[in-house]
């Protein structure tokens, strides 16, 4: 993240603000098809990590099952969770379909689909952070 943690504090600071914005996001595959396995899962997870690195956002935990993914992350005040969800879905879908549309994904999708149109996002408090993190870590992936 492009901000610094204040010494001994859980929040970040910049020249004009202090903040701690933590989110739990869930993305579901189109028709809940179990496509997040093997090489498809690898490229999707790697692409998500690359997006977060590029935006200098911190993934605290990422895991899921074959039909969905959970991402627990910290963001800055300028990052819209909805826009971030759309960037993640667009880029991961593009890369996965480019590489696997004629092989692995052909079995599940006859149109250029990958993700459901919807997503879930919620804020996480300091009190619930460890519970959400443990839940995501224990997904059956």
- Domains in the chain (CATH in brackets) are 4-137 (3.30.70.1290)
List pLDDT tens digits, range 9-42.
Answer: 778 887 788 888 999 999 999 999 999 999 999 9
C-alpha angle 56-61-63 in degrees, rounded to nearest 5: 120
pLDDT at 6: 66
Q: What is the pLDDT of residue 138?
A: 93
Q: Are the beta carbons of 28 and 70 closer than 8 angstroms?
A: no
The whole-chain average pLDDT of the chain stands at: 91
- 3-class secondary structure per residue, 35-57: CCCHHHHHHHHHHHHHHHHHHCC
Nearest to 40 by CA among 73, 61, 72, 69: 69
Residues in the chain predicted with pLDDT less than 50, given as ranges, are 1
pLDDT value at position 1? 47
Looking at residue 75, its pLDDT comes to: 94
């Amino acid at each position: 993240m492009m901000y610094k943690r204040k010494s001994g504090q859980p929040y970040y600071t910049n020249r004009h603000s202090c903040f701690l914005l933590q989110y739990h996001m869930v993305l579901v595959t189109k028709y809940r098809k179990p496509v997040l396995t093997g090489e498809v899962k690898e490229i999707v997870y790697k692409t998500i990590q690359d997006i977060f690195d590029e935006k200098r956002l911190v993934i605290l935990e990422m895991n899921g099952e074959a039909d969905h993914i959970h991402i627990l992350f910290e963001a800055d005040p300028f990052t819209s969770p909805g826009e971030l969800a759309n960037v993640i879905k667009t880029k991961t879908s593009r890369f996965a379909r480019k590489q696997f549309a004629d092989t692995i994904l052909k079995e599940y999708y006859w149109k250029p689909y990958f993700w459901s149109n919807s997503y879930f996002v919620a804020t996480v408090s300091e009190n619930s952070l460890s519970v959400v993190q443990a839940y995501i870590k224990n997904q059956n992936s």
